[in-house]
Chains A and B, each alone.
Chain A
Amino acid sequence: MSEKNELLFEMRNIEKIFAHVHALDHVNFDVRKGEVHALLGENGAGKSTLIKILTGVYTKDGGQIFMDGKEIEINSRDDAADAGIAVIFQELSLVPTLSVYQNILLGKEQSRFGFISDRAEKQQIQELIDRYGFPVKATDIVETLSVAQKQMVEILKALAADAKLVIMDEPTASLSSRESELLYKIINQLRDRGVSIIYISHRLEEVFNLSDRITILRDGKNAGVVEKENIVPSEIVKMMIGKELSESTASRELHTSDAEVELAVKDLTHIGAYNHVSFEVKKGEVLVLTGLVGSGRTEVIRSIYGADPYDSGEIIFEGKVIKPSIKRSVANGFGLIPEDRRTQGFSPLLSVTGNVALTSYDKIAKGGFVNKKDEDALGRKAVELTDLRPANPNVKVGDLSGGNQQKAVLGKWLTRDLKVVLIDEPTVGIDIGAKDEIYNIIEGLAEQGVAVLMVSSDIAEVLRVAHRIIVMREGKIIKEFNHGVATQEDILLASSGFVDEKEAA
């Protein structure tokens, strides 16, 4: 067994710049032999950029990388693999119609005259599987395996390639608790055999149970490296957020707190996505669902809109139970600003007017013919309402900046008589100036009495626009914060698993 504190891998002063933004600013990161090292940080802190550099997807703009004390260059995936670095992808990297051992050997098959002779390898792989107790067989076909088993195959692939450093990015995101337990066991076995692991997870509890050390990134900079023994969770959360910010409190007071309830859901359940979700949104209120990606937030609002089904529970609009379908939702005055605006929000080749008119042809078309004047007026109205720039409704939406594209998507609904608007991650990939304008539009909607139900992972954003905040985890509502009481820490602790449900109730 190797010396306890011997370094395997080190990154020094790593820099990465994207279009004048310092994604990584002199970041240091090292991993010891046989260590589980967790990498933590909020979305956009630079974790994935760092991982992409060390796996050869991006090349660094500055700094040095060392493996076993020798400086190495990683310019491609092959370089990373040669250095003994392996990434456990979610499921991307397996060939579904081939068997487990064929996947592991792919590209490295022994052959005689082109015919595969792999009996020996097949046996070796089966032995490897047995040694670690992986719940798969070498001859299983990958597409018949569960997500957890597929992940095991990825780990096997790394082991078969003699990886010294294995990177796991949110490995438990789609596993059940029993499957996660098995993964933890395997991680511990790997560590005992001297394999080093970089572990990335939003679930702080898990990070605490597994890791030896934790490196925290914030805004592309090092925020600290700590031994797990010497720290408590709330300190880590503070390091992730940054002290100066943790003081800021939510939220705005509801200006019409006695307003009537516009939309309510009761015990809404979609098996596999969310469970017994209940809440109300009043007229003029901004309710934000927050929590980790995959906690079921997006699925809830998609069900409310009628874009996804649900299994049980009720959706109540203006006091009446409704069975949503997209068509009825539009007729009822619902609007959806989807998560991925590029694929779901707008048509890039159509102009602003063309996009805005898509939701309103019922109003501007008579007998199937579009009234061009009305259509143009609609485009101008959207530009005006959202302060879209350039202020020209004939520009193709694909040619606009991210922020203005989002304004065009908002324009699709603002030009109608909205009653409820469902907004999913409205400012992802949008620069700070445009973010503020979008918040103003959302606040403006609420002031006009529209009920706003929003999903967001960006805690600063949540605190900025929400009247009320609901934190979801694993498909359930964990905690609800009224205006003025939540801090960034509270929300982060609740969404990453340190508040248990009883406390929330």
Chain B
Amino acid sequence: MPLPESINLPITSVDKLKAEVFSSLSVTEMKMIAKRLRRHIISTIGKAGSGHPGGSLSAVEIVTALYFRILRHKPQDPQWSDRDRFILSKGHAAPLLYATLAECGYFPVDELPTLRQLDSRLQGHTDRTVTPGVEMSAGALGQGLSFAIGIALAGRLNSQNYRVYVLLGDGECDEGQVWEGAMSAAHFKLDNLVAIVDNNRQQIDGWNRDVMNLDPFNKKWQAFGWHVTEVDGHDLTQLTQAFNRAKLIKKQPTVIIAHTIKGKGVSFMENNPDFHGKAPTATEVEIALKELK
């Protein structure tokens, strides 16, 4: 299937997206979007000359499934009070979130190349004060789950039925605050909260198991009182099913451990910790974009 220049969707779908709630994209359509997001990630980080491609590429399908299938949101009304919330706790995956928000219509796709430039709305790490659709100023790891818990508690107090999704990195789970949050989300019985761990098994200094072993990861979350699901984090069908099944879990939060590949989609970035926080050169951008055709 050829890659469209703009999202190749029926006009009605796009209108629906911009008007209100978007939940009807097929897996094939989402795959096309995922590829576009990867191209944006490579181009924007390449142009910026710095940024975090590895952990942006690994979470593409997770974020695609959420924004184009699961979340109830209105790109034209980012502050809609009943919107489902997506909290990007691993704020270094900002290029992925920006690409997604732009493709949804929160701001023009043309703005993406301003990533990391002076006066750009697209800061190096997410900043809720400048970017439409960004819920949290993140980048200092470990804080997103607590923030999401606050939003989930407010939803319950207000009898609003929005759901809260928070994306964590696996390396981020080294942070003690994550487990303070994990304990409290279960204590507060937050069944309107879903955490997704982008389990790409790598962090800056190398493989998690060598830097700081997280195993048994699944059992840790279970022991903290969470409903735990594991999926192939690049399989859009498994992801959407997991998100939908989580809606049926009552009286406890759900964590989806999404097994992913750091740098997914670009051969020389896959499982290569060098590309955690390094921009591709112009030549590398060219090769990567060819691979993502």
Q: Do these two chains really belong together in a complex?
A: no
Q: Which residues of B contact A (CB under 8 A)?
A: none
